[in-house]
Amino acid sequence: MVDMWNLDGEGIEERVAFRAQVRDLVWSETKRRMRFLGFSEHEGPATPNALAPTSATAKAVHLMHLEVATEVGNAARELATEAAMRAGRAAATYADLGAAAGITRQAARKRWPEAVGTHWTLYLLTGKSRPHGMSTQVFRSSGKAIDAGRTAVDEGALADDGAVGAVVVNAAREAVWACYFNDGTWAPEEIALPRDLQTAPAPDSPEYGDWLHRWEQFITGNL
C-alpha cells in the first residue's frame, strides 16, 4: 500500500496538487450546474463554505456538490477498472494491481475478479517465405482469440505477408488451439502441437525465444 508520508517532498506536493485539481474540477462543475438552482453564470458562492451553513440555499448547493463528487468518484472507479483490466491483459498480477491502487493483493482480487488470469494471447506467424514475421494480440475470450486466428490464417493466403500459422495460449501459458494454412485444401487446418510446444514460456523468460523458434519450425515444416 502506498504511504504518502514515505514519499519525498516532491512526491507529496504532486499528490496534494493533483487532489486540489480534482477538488477544483468538482467545484467548477457544481457551479456550472447552479443555474438549475436559479443562479446566473456569475452568481453563486465562490467556495463550498461561502454560504450560511443553515440556509436553504446552502443545503441545495451542498447536495449538488455531493452529486457531482459522487459522479466523479463513479467515473474514477470505472477508469480504474478499465486500467486494471488492461494491466491484467499485459500480464500484471494481483500483487501488481494492489500496489498500484494502494490496496492489498486480496483486495485487488476482490475488486477486479476478472482482471487477472482470463486473457488469451494469439500468436500469428506471418509471411509465406523466410524470414517469417511474428505478431501477437490479446483477447478476453478464448473464442474470440481462436476466431481471430482462424480468420487471419484464412485471409493470409491473399497477401505475401499474411498469416500462415496461429496458436492461442491461455493465461496459464498453455497452448489451447493451433492451426496453419493448408495449401492442399486452401484453408486453415487445426493442428495438434507436439508436447514440447504445448506450454509456452513467459515472454520475459530466457526460454521464450527458443519456444517461438521451435513453433516457427513446426509450422514451416507443415506448410
Give the pLDDT confidence of 185-195 residue by residue, as tens digits.
Answer: 889 999 999 99
Is residue 206 pLDDT above 80, yes or no?
yes
Q: What is the DSSP string of 132-189?
A: PEEEEEEES-HHHHHHHHHHHHHHHTTSTTSEEEEEEE-TTSBEEEEEEEETTTTEEE
**pLDDT value for 1:** 46
Task: Give the end of a domain, one of 90, 111, 132.
Answer: 111
Same-domain check for residues 41 and 135: no
Same-domain check for residues 146 and 207: yes
Is residue 137 pLDDT above 80, yes or no?
yes
CA distances from residue 17 to 6, 8, 12, 24, 69 in whole angstroms, order as listed? 17, 14, 9, 10, 17
Same-domain check for residues 93 and 126: no
Q: How many CB atoms lie within 10 A of CB 2?
A: 12
**pLDDT value for 2:** 47
The residue written with cell numbers 502506498 in the block is 2
Same-domain check for residues 69 and 46: yes
Alpha carbons 6 and 58: distance in angstroms, whole number: 38
**pLDDT value for 223:** 77
Tell me the residue range of the domain where 191 lies. 120-222
Same-domain check for residues 107 and 206: no
Residue 199 is classified by DSSP as B
Same-domain check for residues 95 and 144: no
Same-domain check for residues 130 and 104: no
pLDDT band at 197 (very low <50, low <70, confident <90, very high): very high
**pLDDT value for 8:** 55
Q: How many CB atoms lie within 10 A of CB 126?
A: 19
Same-domain check for residues 149 and 202: yes
Q: What is the pLDDT of the chain when averaged over all its residues?
A: 86
Contact 163, 125 (CB under 8 A): yes
Alpha carbons 95 and 117: distance in angstroms, whole number: 13
CA angle 149, 124, 215 (to 5 degrees): 115
Same-domain check for residues 51 and 107: yes
Same-domain check for residues 107 and 170: no
Summarize the confidence of residues 40-64 as an average pLDDT.
Answer: 77
Is residue 106 pLDDT above 70, yes or no?
yes
What's at 82, amino acid-wise? E
Q: Strand pairing partners for 181? A: 188
Q: How many CB atoms lie within 10 A of CB 199?
A: 14
Contact 180, 187 (CB under 8 A): no
**pLDDT value for 194:** 95
Same-domain check for residues 135 and 106: no
pLDDT band at 42 (very low <50, low <70, confident <90, very high): low
Alpha carbons 2 and 30: distance in angstroms, whole number: 30
Task: Give the end of a domain, one of 111, 128, 163.
Answer: 111
Same-domain check for residues 43 and 78: yes
Alpha carbons 181 and 160: distance in angstroms, whole number: 13
Give the residue, 80 or 159, on which the prediction is more confident.
80
Is residue 150 pLDDT above 60, yes or no?
yes
**pLDDT value for 129:** 82
Q: Calculate Rg over the CA atoms of the chain.
A: 27
Task: Give the end of a domain, one of 59, 81, 111.
Answer: 111
Provide the number of structural domains found in the chain: 2
